[in-house]
Amino acid sequence: MDAGDRPARLTVGVVGAGKVGSALGAALAQAGHRIVAASGVSDNSQRWAADRLGVKPSRPDEVVAAAQLILLTVPDDALPDLVTGLATTGADLQGKLLAHTSGAYGLSVLDPAAGVGALPLALHPVMTFTGRDDDLNKLTGISYGVTAPDLLRPIAEALVIEMGGEPVWIAETDRALYHAALAGAANHMVTLIAESQQLLERIGVEHPGRMLGPLLGAALDNVLRLGITGLTGPVVRGDAGTVRKHVDALILAAPEAADAYIALARLTADRALAAGLLKPEEAERLLDALGGNIWT
Show the domain range for 29.
11-170
**Which among 146, 170, 194 is the end of a domain?**
170
Segment 84-103, tens digit of pLDDT: 999 999 999 999 999 999 99
Which CATH number is 250's domain given?
1.10.1040
Are both 39 and 161 inside the same structural domain? yes
- Residue 210 CA, chain-centre distance (Å), reads 26
Are both 214 and 283 inside the same structural domain? yes
Q: Where residue 7 falls among pLDDT bands split at 50, 70, 90?
A: low
Which CATH number is 87's domain given?
3.40.50.720
Provide the domain count of the chain: 2
Are both 186 and 164 inside the same structural domain? no
Question: Is 295 within a domain?
Answer: no
Q: Where residue 131 falls among pLDDT bands split at 50, 70, 90?
A: confident
Question: Is 240 within a domain?
Answer: yes
Are both 149 and 185 inside the same structural domain? no
Are both 29 and 145 inside the same structural domain? yes
Q: What is the DSSP string of 135-177?
A: GGGGGTT-EEEEE--GGGHHHHHHHHHHTT-EEEE--GGGHHH
Segment 22-74, tens digit of pLDDT: 999 999 999 999 999 999 888 888 888 888 899 998 999 999 999 999 999 99
Are both 164 and 209 inside the same structural domain? no
d(CA 170, CA 144): 9
Are both 21 and 86 inside the same structural domain? yes
**Which among 170, 205, 223 is the end of a domain?**
170
